[in-house]
Amino acid sequence: MTMVDLPAAVHIGAGDLPFVDIGDGSVLKVIQVKEAEGLWILENVFQAGYAVQRHKHTGPVYAYTTSGAWKYDEYSYVNRTGSFLYEPAGSIHTLRVLEDDTHVWFQMYGANLNLDANGDVESVSDGASTLGVYLALCEQAGLPRPKVIRD
């Protein structure tokens, strides 16, 4: 066994990628997108009142919360500092942020099918589209192109 050609771990320090504003002071960082596999990993710091339209996941999602408070309208539990949330493929919910400076990492597979009031798909968010938004917002903010981990 030799170290030649071994795949190496990739480290992204807290300051290595910029946050961009996604409205009312809530911010987004895209850390990794394996488009071919459908994997996308995001870091958000949300402010109270931030909401994400009711959506259905086509793959599983794993959420790690390190500060603040957020919940799904459809359920009573609240994600707080130290919470872990497992969202199986097929789960449907509406995200709402309860406190300022709510910090969450999301490890997501597949797409978010954003649903209208009838339960029909109004739009779709996935790793590729979210990466596009992130890169555009970085460019608009005059930031250098961030080195998101890619395939």
> Among residues 28 and 31, whose Cβ is nearest to a copy of itself?
31
* Span of 18-26, 67-75, 140-148 interacting with a copy of itself by CB under 8 A: 67-75
- Does residue 10 belong to the site contacting a copy of itself (CB under 8 A)? yes
- Does residue 149 belong to the site contacting a copy of itself (CB under 8 A)? yes
Q: How many Cα atoms occupy the beta-carbon half-sphere of 121 within 13 Å? A: 9
> Among residues 39 and 142, whose Cβ is nearest to a copy of itself?
39
* Span of 19-27, 114-122, 140-148 interacting with a copy of itself by CB under 8 A: 114-122
CA 15 to chain centre: 17
Bridge partner residues of 149 (DSSP): 32
DSSP labels, 64-116? EEEESEEEETT---EEETT-EEEE-TT-EEEEEE-SSSEEEEEEEES-EEEE-
Which burial class, exposed, middle or buried, applies to 115 when counting CB atoms under 10 A from its CB (0-12, 13-18, 19+)?
middle
Dihedral of CA atoms 111, 141, 45, 96 in degrees, nearest 10, equals: -60
* Span of 6-14, 19-27, 137-145 interacting with a copy of itself by CB under 8 A: 6-14
Rg (CA), the chain: 16
> Among residues 15 and 144, whose Cβ is nearest to a copy of itself?
15
Min dist CB 68 to a copy of itself, Å, is: 13
> Quick one: which of 92, 98, 135, 143 contacts a copy of itself (CB under 8 A)?
92
| Cβ contacts of 116 within 8 Å, gap of 6 or more | 122
Give the interface with a copy of itself as residue ranges (CB under 8 A): 1, 3, 6-15, 31-32, 34-38, 41, 43, 58-60, 62, 64, 66, 72, 74-75, 77, 79-93, 105, 107, 109-111, 113, 115, 119, 121, 124, 126, 128, 149, 151
